Every structure is written in structure tokens, then in C-alpha cells.
Amino acid sequence: MAEEAAKTPRYRYLRNDQAAELLAWWKALEENRAERAELRRAETPDEVLPARAFHRLCRILPYWESRDLLALATAAGVLAHVKTLGAEPLPRQLGDPKDRGGDKPAFSELRFQQLLSCRDHAEFFQRLRRAVHLVGGTADVCRLADDILRWAADRLDGSAEQPSQRFRYTWAKEYFAHF
């Protein structure tokens, strides 16, 4: 029983049933190329709002629809750029050396710091899309969505959380794991 619990992913803002539905939503984008293209064309979270696929995601995560609609739109828009389901957290992939044996990360430290310092949804959306493209469109969809929601929650009420649980710290810890 304890082994099974250890294997079950734990998310901060997604329940496991929501994670399964989110993954099914993302996989459905593969089959419905028109909806995926609509999300991919969006340049800002505001442009994601009228998309049909986004409204399906709202039904999966209704709490976030009422709490921070633009965070949910950011998640939908960024996840549409994920081509392959990965196992590694995105910040760890960004911190991985570009070349085997090299010491330069795939995503420069300056760009990473800029990503962590984003103050609004539009800038975060743009920088995160770029990061996903840089790693070849491979990401853990549920973990990435949960991290986007964590970023949004930190913006709304980050002072209430322990610093070790905040988005900036957890992403920096993963990014710098190779240094």
C-alpha cells in the first residue's frame, strides 16, 4: 500500500482525478488538430479565452476558472505546445547541459531568472512557451499545469506559503540540480 502511494504523483493544485482528466484533455488535442492549432496561435492568455478546448479545460478545473482564469488560460496555451509527454520536470530539462559533458544549460541562467521574475500572465506565457520549445516540446503535462497554477497562486497569496513550497524556489532547485 505504501509503495502504491509513493508511485502516485502528488500535485499541489491538481487532484489525481483532475490530473487524469487533464492528461486526457491534452491527448484529445492530438486528435483535434484544429483546436490545438487555435491554442497554439494564441500569443497571450487573453487570446486563449475564446477557444473551445479552453472551455473544456475549465470544466475539468472549475475552481481555477473562478479563482484565476488567466492562469488556466496560460496552462491551456502552454500545454498545447507540448508535443511529447515527458517524465522530467521542465525546470530540470532547462538546466540540463546542452551538450553531453558540457556545463552550459539548455536554457541560459539569465533567461531562467527572467522566467522566474515574470509579474504578469502574458509575459509568463511567452517565456514558458519559449522554454517548452527549447526542450523540443517534451514535458510532464500534469506537473507543468500544476506548476503554472502554483505560479498563479504565489502571485495571489504567496506570502501565506512556506518559502520552500513557492514556485520560484522549487523551480530553481530543479534547474540548478546539475550545477
**38 vs 27: CA distance, rounded Å:** 15
**Could you confirm whether domain 11-178 is CATH 1.10.520.40?**
yes
Q: Which residues contact 85 (CB under 8 A, 6 or more apart)?
A: 23, 26, 138, 139, 140, 141
Segment 166-179, tens digit of pLDDT = 899 999 999 999 77
Domain boundaries, the chain: 11-178
In a structure prediction context, what are the per-residue pLDDT tens digits for the chain, which is 179 residues long? 444 444 556 788 898 899 999 999 999 999 999 999 999 999 999 999 999 999 999 999 999 888 899 999 999 999 999 999 999 999 999 999 877 667 889 899 999 999 999 999 999 999 999 999 999 999 999 999 999 999 999 888 765 567 888 899 999 999 999 77
Look up the pTM and report it. 0.91
